[in-house]
Structure 1
C-alpha cells in the first residue's frame, strides 16, 4: 500500500475542509477577497475528486490489482497526473470559478478517470463475485455520471443555462457520483472487510440487495426531474425508488445480523464507532429520502438550502468518509487516531444537527436560530481539526517506524 497516496488524499480532504470552514465564516465576518460561489465550487471539487476519488483509487489498486501489476509505473504515474489536475482545480476554482483554466483541469481529471476505469477493469483480480460485481458497477456508474458534465457544454453553448436542463445535468453528475460510483465502491470495500471478518452474505440475498439498490439508485433521480417538471408520475417514481433503497439496506444487513454482531464485538472501539457512524448516516440519509414521499416535504427539500447541504454531507462525510476511515485504519494502522476521529465525528454530528434544525425553523416560519451562523462556523472548526489530528498521528507514527528501522 502506498501510504503517500493516502497521505495526499487526506491533505486534499483537509484543504477542502478548510475551504468549507472559510465559507461558514464568510457569514460571520466580512471577507472582502472571497468570492463565495467560486470558493464553493473549489470546496466541492476538492472534497469529491481530491479526497474520495483518490482514496478509492488507492484502495482499488491496493486490494484488487495483482502485486506484479501494482509495481509497474502506470498506476503511480496516473495517480500523480490525477493529483496534478486536483491541484489545478484547487487553485483555479476559488479564483475564477467555472472558467477556462478550471474547466481544463476538470476535463483532465475526467480523462484520467476514464483511463483508470479502463486499466483497472483489465487488471481486476477479485475472487469474491459479490465484491467483483460491486467494483464493476461502481466503475460503470462513474462513467455514466460524467455524461452530466459533458452535457453542460452544449447546454451553455445554446444559452440554456437558466433552464432546468442546466441544473438537471449537474444533479445527474452528482447523483450518480455520490450514490453510484462512491457508494458502491465503498460498499465493495466494506463487503471485502466483512469477508475478512468471516461475515458472508449468501448469493441469493446479495443479488436481491444489488438489484434493489441499483433500481432505487436509478429511480431516485426522478426526485430531481419532479422538481424540474412537477409531474405526479415523477413524484411517485422517486417514492418507489426510496422504498427500494430502504429494502436494499434490509437485505444487506438483516440476513447476516448475527455474524455482524459477533464480528462487531471483537473489533476495537474506534472501528465499531466508525462502522456505526457510517451506518447511521446511511440510515439517516434514506429516512430523509423517505420523508420526501410527502408532497409538502418534497417541495421544501429543494428550496431550503440547509436541508440540501445536510443531505449531501450525510452521504459524503457520514456514509462514505466514515467507512473509508474504517478501511484506512485497518489497512494503515499508523493513521488510526481516536482523538482525531472523535473530534471529526463530533463536528459532523453537531453541524448536521444545526443545519437540519435551522432548516426546520425556516420551514415552520420561526426565523433564525440565535447566533446560528456563529455557532455553525465555530462547530465546523472541529472537522478540519479532527483531520489535522489524524494526519499528525499518521506522520508521527511513520517517523517513529523509520527511526526504529534505522536503529535495528
Structure 2
C-alpha cells in the first residue's frame, strides 16, 4: 500500500457513497413524494456515475497498481492525468445528467469519458507488452480493454438516438443492452478475472486450465450479447452458436470453481480471511448470474424476464453490486491494499448486508410483478435496503480515511 493507492481508492469509495446516495434518492422518490427532482434524470446520473466514477475508476486504479508491481512505480505518474480526466468526466456526468438528462453537456461528458478510456486502453495495452513474463492475466486485461472499447459503440448509438430524438424501441434497447453487455460481461468481468488470475499464477500445474478458462469466456462474450435480443428472430445457426456460447461459459466457470476448490488450502494462504469471504460471496453471485443468463436462452423466458422492470433492475444490481462491487472490495481486502481497521470492516459488513437485502427484495418484487399481485410496503422496504447500502458506504469511506500515511 502506498500514497497513490490510498488516495485513489479513497476517491473511489467517495464515489461509491455518491452512487448509493443517488440510489437512496431514487428509492425515496418511488416510496414518497420528492418535489423539484426528475426521476429519469437522477436515474441516468446514478447509472452513468456508477459505471464510470465507481467501477471503471476503481478498476483503472487496481490495474495501474498491478502494472506498477510488474514494471515499476514510475507508471503512477504516467496514468495520474488519465485518472483525473476520468474523474472530471464522471463528475461532469453526475451533475449534468441531474440537470438536463440527455443534453449537450451530459452527452459531451459521456463522449469524453469514452475518449479517456480509449486513451487508457492504448497506454495500458502498450505497457502490458513490456512485462517479460507472459501470463493469463495479460490476456484477460487485453480482452477487457478491447471489450470496453467495443461497448462504446452502444454508448455512441444511444447518444445519437437521444440527441436526434429517435424513439425506435428496438434500436434503443439494442444500444442500451450492447453497452451494458460489453461493460459488465466484457470490461468489468475480464478485468476482474485478470486480477484474480494474477494471484493464481503460483498454481503452476493449473496454468493450462487457466488459459482454457480465458479462451472459453472470450469465445462466449460476443454471442452471449444476443441473449438480450431474443425478441428479434434469429436464424437457427445464430441460435445454435448462442447455445454453445452459454455452455462454454458454464464449463469455464466450472473449471475455475474446480481449481479454487482443489487448491483451497494453498489459495487460503494468499488471501486474507475477510477478503476470501467477500470473494466467495462474489463467486456465488456470479454463479447465480450465469444460471439466470443461461435460463434466458429460452425465448419465452427471455421475453418474460426482460418484460418486467423489477427483474431487469434486480439482474443489473446482482451484476454491478453482488458480483463486481463485492469483488473490487474483496480484492482490496484480500491483498491488504489498504490497512484494515474495525470501522472499515464494519462498513463492508453493512454494505454487503444491504446488497443481500436489496437483492432478496428485488427478487420478491419481480415475482410480484409476474404474478400481478401486490406486496404491501415493498417500496418502503426497498428504501430501507437503500438506506442500509448508503450507511455502509458512509462507514467504509470514513473507515478508509483512517489509513496511516505511508511513503511511496
Q: Same fold (TM over 0.5)?
A: yes
In structure 2, how many angstroms separate the alpha carbons of the residues matched to 1:348 and 1:157?
Answer: 35
Instruction: List aligned pairs for 1:5-404, cutoff 5 A.
Output: 5-65=8-68, 66-72=71-77, 74-124=78-128, 125-126=130-131, 127-155=133-161, 160-195=166-201, 198-200=202-204, 202-227=206-231, 229-231=232-234, 233=236, 237-264=241-268, 267-329=271-333, 330-335=335-340, 337-365=344-372, 367-398=373-404, 401=405
Structure-1 separation of matches of 2:359 and 2:305: 15
Q: Does the 8 Å CA contact 2:141/2:194 hold for their aligned counterparts?
A: yes
Question: Contact between 2:17 and 2:397, CA under 8 Å: does it hold in 1?
Answer: no
Following TM superposition, by how much is the alpha carbon of 1:216 offset from its aligned partner in structure 2, in angstroms?
A: 2.0
Count of aligned residue pairs for this structure pair: 396
* Compared CA separation, residues 158 and 81, structure 1 to 2 (3 A): closer
Partners of 1:14 and 1:317 in 2: CA distance: 13
Query: Structure 1 CA distance, aligned partners of 2:29 and 2:377?
Result: 14
Give the conservation status (yes or no) of the 8 Å contact 2:30–2:379: yes
Question: Displacement of 1:267 after TM fit?
Answer: 4.5
Gaps of 5+ in 2: none
1:265: Cα distance to partner?
Answer: 7.0
- CA displacement, residues 322-381 of structure 1 (integer Å, 9 cap, x when unaligned): 11112222242325532111111111111101101121122123x121210001111221
Are the aligned partners of 1:201 and 1:256 in contact in 2 as well (CA < 8 Å)?
no
Q: State whether residues 111 and 156 of structure 2, in contact with CA within 8 Å, keep that contact through their aligned partners in structure 1.
A: no
Question: Does the aligned pair in 2 maintain the 1:205–1:251 contact within 8 Å?
Answer: yes
Structure 2 SS opposite 1:223: helix
Relative distance call for 1:129 and 1:266 in structure 2 (3 A) is closer
Give, in angstroms, the shift of residue 235 of structure 1: 5.3
Q: Which has the higher contact order (CA 8 A, sep 6+)?
A: 2
Mapped contact 1:335–1:391 kept (Cα < 8 A):
no
Q: Decide whether the 8 Å contact of 1:220 with 1:237 is kept in 2.
A: no
Cα deviation for residue 264 of structure 1 reads: 2.9
Residue by residue over 1:71-107, the C-alpha shift from the partner in whole angstroms, topping out at 9 and shown as x without a partner, is: 53x3111211211111111111111111001111111
Which moved further from structure 2: 235-244 or 316-325? Answer: 235-244
Offset from partner CA, 1:122-153 (integer Å, 9 cap, x none): 22244342011001110111111111122335
| Alpha-carbon distance change, 159 to 37 in structure 1, aligned in 2, over 3 angstroms | closer
Shift of 1:284: 0.8
The structural deviation recorded for 1:8 is 0.9
Aligned 8 A contact 2:227 2:297 in 1: no
Distance in 1 (alpha carbons) for counterparts of 2:108 and 2:305 = 33
Distance 1:79 1:267 in 2: 28
- Cα distance in 2 for partners of 1:164, 1:264 equals 47
Measured against aligned partners, the alpha-carbon deviations of 1:211-236 in whole angstroms (never above 9, x if no partner) come to 22122221211122213x14474655
TM-score, normalised by the number of residues in structure 1:
0.91
Q: SS of the residue aligned with 2:281?
A: helix
**Matched residues in 1 for 2:392 and 2:384: separation?**
14
